[in-house]
Amino acid sequence: MKFADIMQSADWKAEKHVPVIEAPDSVKAGEFFNVTLTVGKEIPHPNTTEHHIRWIKLLFKPEGDKFAYELANFEFTAHGEAVAGANQGPAYTDSCGVARVKLNSSGTLLAMSYCNIHGLWESSKEIKVG
């Protein structure tokens, strides 16, 4: 068994669990840019005490490198929990995060998200550094 065996992927326009990576196709070496990660960009994912997105991670694998580097980790920890009961709480966090990133080589951005019911989902985006 490997992580790949339990990792789902799909077209994010048709599947609400896929983490969407928004970043430029090419950037300048050493200059910061924004990477926005969203689950539910096209089709909203539920955000209830019983069913929600817990976290999204962002990693970078440089071209020709064996290893990936973790860039950011977003945890979404409010989903309507309260003493009064499920979905009675005053606060919710939605599954979206922005990371400021700079790179020194081309490679691949990889995102992984976790739904408390539907498990792990992944996506990736190539990025060129000039």
Which residues lie near Fe ion (CB under 5 A)? 115, 117-118
Catalytic residue among 41, 45, 57, 79: 45
Catalytic residue among 28, 51, 102, 128: 51
Residue 35: closest CA among 130, 105, 120, 124: 124
Residue 128 CB, nearest distance to Fe ion (Å)? Answer: 33
Residue 46 CB, nearest distance to Fe ion (Å)? Answer: 7
Residue ranges of alpha helices (H) inside 23-107 are none
Quote the tokens at residue 37: 């990660």
DSSP line for 11-53: -TTT-TTSEEEE--SEE-TT--EEEEEEESSSSPPP-SSSS-E
Indicate if 118 belongs to the active site: yes
Residue whose CB is less far from Fe ion, 39 or 103: 39
Indicate if 57 belongs to the active site: no
Indicate if 128 belongs to the active site: no
Indicate if 17 belongs to the active site: yes
User: Which residues are catalytic, by number?
Assistant: 15-17, 45, 51, 115, 118
